[in-house]
C-alpha cells in the first residue's frame, strides 16, 4: 500500500553531512560527499564513508521542531547492515540527528542543504 507524504517539506531534500561524532570529515567523505536525502513520500537514503542506506521514514516533532525518525538497511563495504535513526530541523540551514547501526556503532550528525558545489568535493 502506498503512503502519502509524511513529513515537513522543510526537511525534505538532499542534505550535506558536515560532521559526525563517530568519524572525521575525511573518513565520512571517503567514497562521495556524505549526505542524507529525505523525500516527501518517506523513502529516503544516505551515504557516508563506505556505507549506503535506504530509509523508511516517519514524521516526528521534537522540542517543537519538525523531524523524522527512520529505520534503514543498506551496505557497508558490501556487508549488509541495518539500523535506526532520527533527524530534526534546527533551522532552515541545519539538521541534526543520530544514526544507529544494529548491534554496532552509532554517531550523531549535522548537515546543511546540499549544493552543486558539494558535488565538486568528490574525492
pLDDT tens for 19-51 read 999 899 889 999 999 999 999 888 899 999 999
pLDDT recorded at residue 4 = 46
The low-confidence residues of the chain, meaning pLDDT below 70, are 1-8, 119-123
Give yes or no for a contact between 6 and 57, defined as CB atoms under 8 angstroms apart: yes
Cell of 77: 563495504
CA distances from 40 to 5, 33, 35, 37, 103 (A): 5, 22, 17, 10, 29
Mean pLDDT of the chain: 89
Give yes or no for a contact between 108 and 95, defined as CB atoms under 8 angstroms apart: no
Alpha helices in the chain (DSSP H): 25-28, 116-120
Amino acid at each position: 500500500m502506498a503512503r502519502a507524504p509524511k513529513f515537513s517539506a522543510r526537511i525534505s531534500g538532499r542534505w550535506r553531512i558536515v560532521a559526525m561524532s563517530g568519524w572525521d570529515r575525511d573518513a565520512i567523505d571517503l567514497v562521495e560527499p556524505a549526505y542524507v536525502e529525505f523525500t516527501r513520500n518517506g523513502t529516503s537514503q544516505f551515504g557516508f564513508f563506505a556505507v549506503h542506506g535506504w530509509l523508511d521514514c516517519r514524521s516526528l516533532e521534537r522540542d517543537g521542531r519538525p523531524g523524522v525518525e527512520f529505520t534503514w538497511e543498506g551496505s557497508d563495504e558490501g556487508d549488509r547492515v541495518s539500523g535506526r535513526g532520527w533527524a530534526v530541523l534546527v533551522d532552515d540551514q541545519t539538521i541534526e540527528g543520530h544514526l544507529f547501526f544494529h548491534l554496532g556503532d552509532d554517531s550523531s550528525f549535522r548537515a546543511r542543504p546540499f549544493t552543486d558545489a558539494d558535488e565538486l568535493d568528490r574525492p
